[in-house]
Structure 1
């Protein structure tokens, strides 16, 4: 442990506050680019390719990588890349429809469903709720991760830490919504990539170098074949859970909507998926290094916390700043995404409330504070009971995957109507719920997605006989 814990705690707190202050300055500076409510909600056509790539990385690599992914590497070595590979597959899947997504100038995921199937308050409401539960779950989870990591570092009570990171998240979002979030994420994302590689290398150094590590860790974990060390069943479970979750995660869609050039939409997703592998390298190196130094940890997810106790004073302070940058960039993105759904899909499209630009931005800021307070309260009340996050991924994917991707594939082959989308989404929710109650071995998201696809195809079957020209004309009418 540190020789001067009190002095080190003060240094870590100061470094953390400086990072949050830097985030505030960046957010206010870039927030000036937000000229309208559309800029606050979607930052349309404003992001260069490099910003898209880095901000996707900054959003995706948060508390889960810092704790859970390091735990995977500690227990199963390079299998962490199998997990990250599932995220990459999701990004590649999104890349298939990226150009179309960008051309349509959407704001939120429910916009996609409405454009494909036609306007319906019921469809927009269900899709809006399904789209916001994942970023809201991320938000609460990041709060918990921050409290756990900084509890190890400073000994400060978890409730205080959760409230601190909540304030930091608000500072990132309030000035300019998505416009300020993505540009601040870009700056912090570069710092995160550099620190990830540095800390990963230092962890291997602590373990005695690569030779020292390989001499202490079982061969099947560190050799290239270690990518399958978690076992085929576990890897397939990841495929079934993570790929659909990535394909329907609005946080990733929003960056596609905001690309400056249509041509960058697909390229940005492919490059973003590749940068996610940096998170895998970080988690893999730290997990294996801690396994070499401390093979008897009872809980693999304690590996990151154990490493913290081994860092020298100066690096520990910098690492603390890295943790703040990592988590607050993800929480800011998740918070803004939830509010975009509430304002755009529920407040405007379902309840029909329209306001001017200035009033919409003001209302968005009010909802931002309310959502942050709610997420913080849940994180304080349920600091270790976050199984509902897994459920949020499952239900979101089961509700949205079929209408978006099957609807996209069939958009020119038949007439897509709101009733088909609504039936498909309800079937997905029901399939998920029944499989969850039955406690199936296969993730219940798979059953939900299968039920949703089946219901959609059945409901569209009469329309499949429609001539392609008629179907295309019908969709064009809906789009207008």
Structure 2
């Protein structure tokens, strides 16, 4: 960052390395709780309510909040809460099936589809790819966000920074998989909540207090009506894109699968959704404060970087640690989720390969390193060309939303067969692709989901007359691995 002394840069680097080292120690400590491959992949029935809530927050609030959400607040004030509200709506939607999800003891999202529609390698393979592409997209883009933010802070090359955050993500995941990730996220999540409030408060202070903000920023942005300042069309675009993406994001499902008590499944999601609003408060305060101090930024997403240049030395160092904690907790969770899909859905269920617990954990660690290396390579080679990964939300939601939620709602009324799931997922992809090629105003995810729902119903309704009255696998609480024999 221009104007930073060598001492400040060294202090920022040391604080960042300290956070990574602390994460490594925590991961090693909590990783000892992982006694087998199930603990590594899913941490089943192990998380208390408080840990579920905080780890969901730590996972959801990453580089996007640090940059893009602050930019939303700079340009459209409290409309950032409309964006965060979409995430909250997604969490509330997940509560509809949360208890059932927890009772079924799933590991990944494709487990859900296989339980509902029956085991099928093509279905599992397609669902597995759809489920892993979003967390992989998160992983690569978080690497890019880290490089941009810390490049601004320290002047260090993006390649070095990406390699550093890759190493940090690996030390979060390798010791215990999801078990170590969620407990480390819990500790870092508390730090993130505290620092979000501290930095937001200091930004308002720099702007001259709330009166300084209201005296410099257009009233339409900071008054309650600012919730809709982004415009109805933009807000509906957020609803159409973010809600389905949240509903089908495996990172959130995994925390539900891992709750210690069945009764905590719904409560954890509701409380997690409320904590997400802390991210909105952070982004809103910083965006409005920077707008008050510098209303002439060409790019609203530069607001967070501009604020960094105004922080005092001590807070700057702590803020650097905050950035590391924020991004590394999200990258660790995304990395573990991708590996769970590769091992559980593709390696074991599609290719039929089975290993003992120790061999499965060893293989999972190898795949973790390979996935992290691939994401880092993409982030280094294409640091400004990762926008295409945003499409992963649309295609993932269009592929998975109807089979998961439609299958759950219709499982007692119609016979669910693999062909229906496969047709629904293919129709979702085709609907998305067609709408994207036509450059429709409405997000193409909406067309994909609609096509997926219609295909699912088209195959289910004609078969309703001949449905079996016997017991259904989708109603059983037995683990998926038991049913598959």
TM class, shorter-length:
over 0.9
Give the corresponding residue for 2:110. Answer: 110
> 1:314 maps to what in 2?
314
Instruction: Tell me which residue corresponds to 2:304.
Output: 304
TM-score (norm 2): 0.97
How many angstroms apart in 2 are the aligned matches of 1:252 and 1:440? 29
Aligned partners of 1:410 and 1:471: how far apart in 2? 16
Instruction: Give 1:3 shift.
Output: 6.3
Indicate the residue corresponding to 2:121 in structure 1.
121
User: C-alpha root-mean-square deviation of aligned residues, in Å?
Assistant: 1.3
Q: Is the partner of 2:409 in helix, strand or coil?
A: helix
CA deviation digits over 1:229-274, x for unaligned, max 9? 0000000000000000000000000000000000000000000000
Q: CA 1:472–1:8 in 2, change beyond 3 Å: closer, same or farther? A: same
1:357 aligns with 2:357: yes
The C-alpha deviation readout for 1:153-204, integer Å capped at 9, x for no partner, is 0000011100000000000000000000000000000000000001000000
For 1:443, the equivalent position in structure 2 comes to 443
Q: Structure 2: how far apart are the matches of 1:197 and 1:170? A: 28
Alignment map for 1:326-475 (pairs within 5 Å):
326-466=326-466, 470=469, 473=472, 475=474
Shift of 1:464: 2.8
Equivalent residues, number: 479
Q: What pairs with 1:148-163 in structure 2 (closer than 5 Å)?
A: 148-163=148-163
Structure 2 unmatched ranges of 5 or more: none
Aligned-pair CA distance for 1:2: 7.8
- What SS does structure 1 have at the residue aligned with 2:175? coil
Residue aligning to 1:25: 25
Q: CA, structure 1 residues 474+37, in 2 after alignment: closer, same or farther (shift >3 Å)?
A: closer
TM-score, length of structure 1 as denominator length: 0.98
> Is residue 98 of structure 2 the alignment partner of residue 95 of structure 1?
no
2:215 alignment counterpart: 215
Distance 2:88 2:155 in 1: 36
Quote the Cα distance in structure 2 between the aligned partners of 1:105 and 1:300. 43
Deviation string, structure 1 residues 16-72 (Cα, Å, up to 9, x no partner):
000000000000000000000000000000000000000000000000000000000
> Are 2:115 and 2:473, in contact at CA under 8 Å, matched by a contact in 1?
no
Alignment partners' CA distance in 2, 1:3 and 1:297: 19
For residue 264 of structure 1, what is the aligned residue in structure 2?
264
Q: Which runs of 5+ in 1 are unaligned?
A: none
| Superposed CA offset, 1:439-461 (max 9, x none) | 11110000000000000000101
**C-alpha deviation, 1:462, in angstroms:** 1.7
Q: Answer whether contact 1:76 1:230 (CA < 8 A) is retained.
A: yes
- The residue number in structure 1 matching 2:43 is 43
SS across alignment from 2:183:
helix
SS of alignment partner, residue 285 of structure 1: helix
CA distance in structure 2 between the aligned counterparts of 1:77 and 1:222, rounded to whole angstroms: 6
Structure 2 counterpart of 1:72:
72
Separation in 2, partners of 1:2, 1:474: 62
Mapped contact 1:55–1:186 kept (Cα < 8 A): yes
- The corresponding residue for 1:11 is 11
Deviations 1:342-373 (A, max 9, x none): 00000000000000000000000000000000
Contact 2:116/2:473 (<8 A) preserved? no
- Deviation string 1:271-319 (CA, Å, 9 cap, x unpaired) is 0000000000000000000000000000000000000000000000000
Q: Is the 8 A contact 2:118 2:417 kept in 1?
A: yes
SS of alignment partner, residue 297 of structure 2: coil
What's 1:82 paired with?
A: 82
4+ residue runs over 6 A deviation = none
1:416 and 1:15 map into 2 onto residues whose CA distance is: 54
Distance across 2 between alignment mates of 1:82 and 1:66: 17
> How far did 1:476 drift?
5.0
